[in-house]
């Protein structure tokens, strides 16, 4: 587990260094994720400890959002001031995105399946 | 509080130990409640623990920065967790390869719509520029969204709040809405929920099935990448 955690941090570090060095427009951890994915594809498999640690971290993903979420208390005055555009943007934007994503993917997936020869 | 007890409180309240421990306890309590209520969407563990911790901070008169000083050890793990997304992405690489074209088209459309609708609706209803820009990356996972917000002139910590609210809202209404739309495929449900409401949605998607969870994690990872590319481009375009 310690080795796997070190590996995750190393890839994040490599991502951060690349982002800084090349002035990339993406956050460091995302570049780290892309690098790790590339390594896994090249290697052709996930080492068991890495798979265990990654799945462990990801199964508790929700708690990682809690400290940032509590920060809502800092912005209560601002949220009250602009509550209508904020609530509308969050609610309508989310409903719209959920709907469009599901419908587009379903339509495209059906078309793809229709084209494939059935066994 | 007076005397000895007061001293102990003053000492503990200033140390990371107390707030780190309370964050973990609040989350475990919230998870327990959520399980007792049979994972009712409104009993979302993030929503419950955030509400509980805000109450504790209010009652003890603790400023947020003091709390965050301790809780940042949890927050920090968002970085390695983002890197760890490479593992489920790899594990579903075969399916990803087979479905790549529908997934890529949906990803670009969904990602662009998530950011454009958030920014557009807020601006149309009179939000300040800062708030509208902070809303744009709200569907991306937190470390990515905060990074983008900083780059385009939003307020990263306000974006963090919007990310959490979007995640909770998507997790609460997602399954219900998708079933109303007649969506029966768990892979599609998961992809839509993960793209829209990142990690909090993914935790919800894992309750539907492992397949929904995997596709949700996949959509979260890909949407993080896509938002990181599209939103700075869009903001650049808006400025010219």
CB proximity B138 to A under 8 Å: yes
Band of the pLDDT at A94, cuts 50, 70, 90? very high
Domain count, chain B: 2
Q: Domain boundary at A38, A59, A80, which?
A: A59
Residue, of B235 and A12, whose pLDDT is higher: A12
Give, for A1, the enclosing helix (H) or strand (E): none
Q: Domain boundary at B76, B106, B132, which?
A: B76
Mean pLDDT, residues A66-78 taken together: 89
One domain for residues B87 and B138: yes
Average pLDDT of chain A? Answer: 90
| Nearest chain B CA: its distance from A27 CA (Å) | 6
CB proximity B203 to A under 8 Å: yes
Q: Domain boundary at A26, A59, A92, which?
A: A59
Domain count, chain A: 2
One domain for residues A104 and A73: yes
> Domain containing B120: what range?
83-238
Give, for A107, the enclosing helix (H) or strand (E): helix A83-115
- B94-133 residues touching A, CB cutoff 8 A: 99, 101-103, 105-106, 109-110, 113-114, 117-119, 121-128, 131-132
Band of the pLDDT at B53, cuts 50, 70, 90? very high
| Nearest chain B CA: its distance from A66 CA (Å) | 6
pLDDT digits (tens, 9 = 90+) for B204-215: 888 888 788 888
One domain for residues A100 and A55: no
One domain for residues B33 and B112: no
Residue B24 backbone zone (phi > 0: left; psi -120 to 50: alpha; other: beta): alpha
Residue, of B204 and A102, whose pLDDT is higher: A102
Band of the pLDDT at B195, cuts 50, 70, 90? very high
pLDDT at position B218, please? 85
One domain for residues A95 and A77: yes
Inspect the interface and report whether the beta carbons of A97 and B185 lie closer than 8 Å. Answer: no
Band of the pLDDT at A89, cuts 50, 70, 90? very high
pLDDT digits (tens, 9 = 90+) for B89-134: 888 778 778 888 999 999 999 999 999 999 999 999 999 999 999 9
3-state SS string for chain B: CCHHHHHHHHHHHCCHHHHHHHHHHHHHHHHHHHHHCCCCCCCCHHHHHHHHHHHHHHHHCCCHHHHHHHHHHHHHCHHHHHHHCHHHHHHCHHHHHHCHHHHHHHHHHHHHHHHHHHHHHHHHCCCCHHHHHHHCCCCCCHHHHHHHHHHHCCCHHHHHHHHHHHHHHHHHHHHHHHHHCCCCCHHHHHHHHHHHHHHHHHHHHHHHCHHHHHHHHHHHHHHHHHHHHHHHHHHHHHCC
> Domain containing A81: what range?
67-119
Q: Domain boundary at B57, B76, B95, which?
A: B76
Within a 13 Å sphere around the CA of B105, how many CA atoms are in the beta-carbon half?
Answer: 13
pLDDT at position B102, please? 93
Which residues from A are below 8 Å from B128, CB to CB? 82
Does residue A119 have a pLDDT over 60? no
Does residue B2 have a pLDDT over 70? no
One domain for residues A39 and A73: no
Residue, of B106 and A27, whose pLDDT is higher: B106
pLDDT at position B143, please? 82
One domain for residues B53 and B7: yes
One domain for residues B88 and B205: yes
Residue, of B217 and B139, whose pLDDT is higher: B139
Pick from A66, A94, A101: which is nearest to B74 by CB? A66
Mean pLDDT, residues A60-70 taken together: 89
Does residue B1 have a pLDDT over 60? no
CB proximity B64 to A under 8 Å: yes
Mean pLDDT, residues A41-66 taken together: 90
pLDDT at position A118, please? 55
Band of the pLDDT at B16, cuts 50, 70, 90? confident
Q: CA A30, CA B108: separation in Å to the nearest integer?
A: 17
> Which two structure tokens, joined as six digits, stand for B158?
């306000």
pLDDT at position B90, please? 87
One domain for residues A49 and A6: yes
């Amino acid at each position: 587990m310690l080795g796997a955690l070190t590996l995750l941090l190393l890839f994040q570090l490599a991502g951060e260094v690349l982002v800084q060095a090349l002035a990339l427009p993406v956050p460091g951890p995302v570049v780290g994720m892309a690098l790790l994915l590339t390594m896994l594809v090249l290697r052709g498999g996930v080492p068991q400890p890495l798979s265990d640690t990654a799945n462990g971290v990801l199964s508790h993903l929700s708690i990682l959002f809690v400290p940032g979420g509590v920060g809502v208390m800092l912005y209560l005055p601002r949220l009250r001031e602009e509550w209508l555009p904020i609530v509308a943007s969050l609610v309508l934007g989310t409903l719209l995105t959920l709907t469009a994503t599901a419908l587009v993917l379903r339509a495209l997936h059906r078309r793809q399946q229709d084209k494939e020869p059935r066994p | 509080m007076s005397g000895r007890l007061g001293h102990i409180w003053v000492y503990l309240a200033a140390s990371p130990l107390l707030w780190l421990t309370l964050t973990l306890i609040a989350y475990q309590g919230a998870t327990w409640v959520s399980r007792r209520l049979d994972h009712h969407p409104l009993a979302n563990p993030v929503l419950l623990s955030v509400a509980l911790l805000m109450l504790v901070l209010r009652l003890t008169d603790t400023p947020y920065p003091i709390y965050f000083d301790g809780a940042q050890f949890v927050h920090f793990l968002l970085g390695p967790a983002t890197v760890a997304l490479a593992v489920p992405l790899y594990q579903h690489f075969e399916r990803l390869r087979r479905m790549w074209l529908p997934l890529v088209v949906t990803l670009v459309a969904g990602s662009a719509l998530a950011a454009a609708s958030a920014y557009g609706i807020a601006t149309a209803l009179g939000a300040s520029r800062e708030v509208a820009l902070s809303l744009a990356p709200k569907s991306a996972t937190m470390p990515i969204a905060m990074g983008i917000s900083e780059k385009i002139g939003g307020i990263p910590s306000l974006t963090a709040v919007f990310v959490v609210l979007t995640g909770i809202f998507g997790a609460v209404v997602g399954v219900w809405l998708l079933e109303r739309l007649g969506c029966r495929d768990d892979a599609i449900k998961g992809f839509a929920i993960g793209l829209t409401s990142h990690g909090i949605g993914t935790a919800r998607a894992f309750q539907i099935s492992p397949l929904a969870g995997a596709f949700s994690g996949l959509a979260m990872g890909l949407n993080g990448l896509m938002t990181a590319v599209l939103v700075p481009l869009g903001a650049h375009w808006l400025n010219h």
